[in-house]
Every structure is written in C-alpha cells, then in structure tokens.
Amino acid sequence: MTLPSIPLSGVIGDPIAHSKSPKLHGYWLRKYGLNGQYVPLEVETDDLANVLKAMPRMGFVGCNVTLPHKERALHCVDQITDRATLIGAVNTIIFRNDGTSLGDNTDGYGFIENLRQGAPNWLADTGPAVVLGAGGAARAVIASLLDAGVAEIFLTNRTRARSEQLREDFGARVIIVDWIQAGNVLEKAATLVNTTSLGMIGKPELRVPLDGLQKNTVVTDLVYTPIQTPLLAKASSKGCTTVDGLGMLLHQAVPGFERWFGRRPVVDDETRQAIQ
C-alpha cells in the first residue's frame, strides 16, 4: 500500500530567516487540519533556476518567492499570469501535475483585499490616490489601484526616473509629482499609500509634510514593522481611517495556500495574532 504524498510548499529568498510566511502557512495548515508542510528555503540567485526545476520532483506543489528573486523568477517558470507580467515580478509559483510551472503575483491582490477589509467603506471612484515610492512594491499597488478603478494616481518618488518608468508602463492615469512637492498633493487624496521603506524600524523616517491630509482620506502603509507606523499614527490623529501593512502580507498568501493545500484560508484577527 502506498501512503498519500505530503504536499510541500515553501518560500525561497536570500536571506529567508526573517520571513513570516512559514509561521503563517504553518498556522493555517494546523488550523484547518490539512496534510502539508511549508518551509523556508535559502537559495542563492545563481541557483534559483535549478532549484525551481528540481522542486516538483521533490514533492513541492508550489512556492512563494521573495527578495531578491521576484524579478528573476519571471524567467524561471513556463508560464506567467497577466498580473505577474504587468507587475514585472513573481511571488507565487504553482507546479502543475503535467510538470509545468505557473508564475503569479498576488501582491496587488493582497494590497486591495487588505484595503477593503481594513476600510470597508473605501471606494475606488471616490477620488485620486497618492502613492509614495516607486520601487517593486509600488508596481503591485499601482496595478491593483488602476484595476480596481481609481481614475488618477499621483506618484511621487525620491528618484524621479523610477516614477517615469512606472508612468511609461502604466500610462497617463499615473501623474508624476516631484518628491519635494509630495505634501502639496495630499489635499486631493482619497487614498494615500506609503510604498517606501521609510518609517520601517532601522530606516529613516518619512518626512513628507502631512498638513494637507484630510480626515476623509484612507491612509495605508506597506511597512509593517512597526505595525502602527508614524504615518499611520499621524493620520489616525487627524481622524483618517488607517490600514496597516501586515494585512497585505496575510492576504497575498491566500491564493497560493488555496491552490497548494486545497482550502481557502480566512484572514482574521487570530491569523494576525498567530504570526506576531
């Protein structure tokens, strides 16, 4: 008699010890009583393609990919979803039964789901969004805001060339604002998103003046260490609805978990407690 195999998944990065994903998936596997394992995998850049090729033969049904491999992973899978192509990075891989691999990106999905859960009255068509930062995470945020129906995004970044690249990629609904002028567009914002690493423990503070911020603006920060960032604290003191970045991390994990282990997990307060 052959025993059923154990579906394996994991997260590939370098370094990887800090990742919260093994704790999160482990919690859901236990909570739902599912057969499966999710492990952290430290893989160097030069080994990524070979590791991804070998994983299905080792019992892996898929994996997450994190820094610094998200862009390179685009070139190491057989097929890429439209949203991963648009974002220009892969964070979730599915190994299919026929031996082929599918690269997806769930960061934008995670961002919007978190926003909708944390600010249930948020509507895409209320007004423009202001996005601070034009790095890798900003691409997912912009793609998902535009897809949700936000008409205009004011994008501001220290390095203007990166904003210009995003405008080229996403089109004229993205309007570039000089970093030095960032505070001047906040009055117009129905949504304010910090996608920079500013405000994170160990990083400089976010110095964008918040005087123009209106209390009906929904403010969200991708930084989740600390969970209550100085930006969220200030926005909250002005009466804004605020949404922290931890929820994005949790929501982006949902599609992968469902696909690999066969059950759609719920993101709730218990899930948040479990990984802190």
DSSP string, 152-217: -EEEEESSHHHHHHHHHHH-TTEEEEEGGGGGGGGGG-SEEEE-SSTTSTTSPPP----TT--TT-
> Which of 137, 185, 189, 254: binder of ligand NAP (CB under 6 A)?
137
Smallest gap, in angstroms, from Cβ of residue 144 to ligand NAP? 12
Kindly identify the residues of this chain, within the stretch 180-199, that bind ligand NAP according to CB under 6 A: 195-198
Q: Mind telling me the catalytic residues?
A: 70
Asked if 136 is part of the footprint of ligand NAP (rule: CB under 6 A), the reply reads yes
Looking at the Cβ atoms of 115 and 190, the one nearer to ligand NAP is 115
Looking at the Cβ atoms of 150 and 249, the one nearer to ligand NAP is 249
- Cis peptide, bond prior to residue 204, ω within 30 of zero: no
Cα–Cα dist 56/217, whole Å: 46
Structure tokens at 17: 């010890």
Smallest gap, in angstroms, from Cβ of residue 114 to ligand NAP? 8
Stretch that binds ligand NAP, among 1-9, 41-49, 51-59, 156-164 (CB under 6 A): 156-164
Beta-bridge partners for 142: none
Stretch that binds ligand NAP, among 15-23, 127-135, 148-156, 180-188 (CB under 6 A): 127-135
Cα–Cα dist 20/42, whole Å: 14
Asked if 200 is part of the footprint of ligand NAP (rule: CB under 6 A), the reply reads yes
Kindly identify the residues of this chain, within the stretch 217-236, that bind ligand NAP according to CB under 6 A: 222-224
Asked if 135 is part of the footprint of ligand NAP (rule: CB under 6 A), the reply reads yes
At 168, which amino acid appears? E
In the numeric block, the tokens 């997806």 are attached to: 104
Residues 6+ apart with CB under 8 A from 56: 95, 99, 101
Smallest gap, in angstroms, from Cβ of residue 270 to ligand NAP? 19
Element holding 218 (H helix, E strand): strand 218-221
Whether 259 and 94 have beta carbons less than 8 Å apart is answered as yes
Smallest gap, in angstroms, from Cβ of residue 41 to ligand NAP? 19
Looking at the Cβ atoms of 128 and 247, the one nearer to ligand NAP is 247
- Contacts with ligand NAP by CB under 6 A lie at 107, 133-138, 157-159, 162, 195-198, 200, 204, 222-224, 245, 248-249, 252
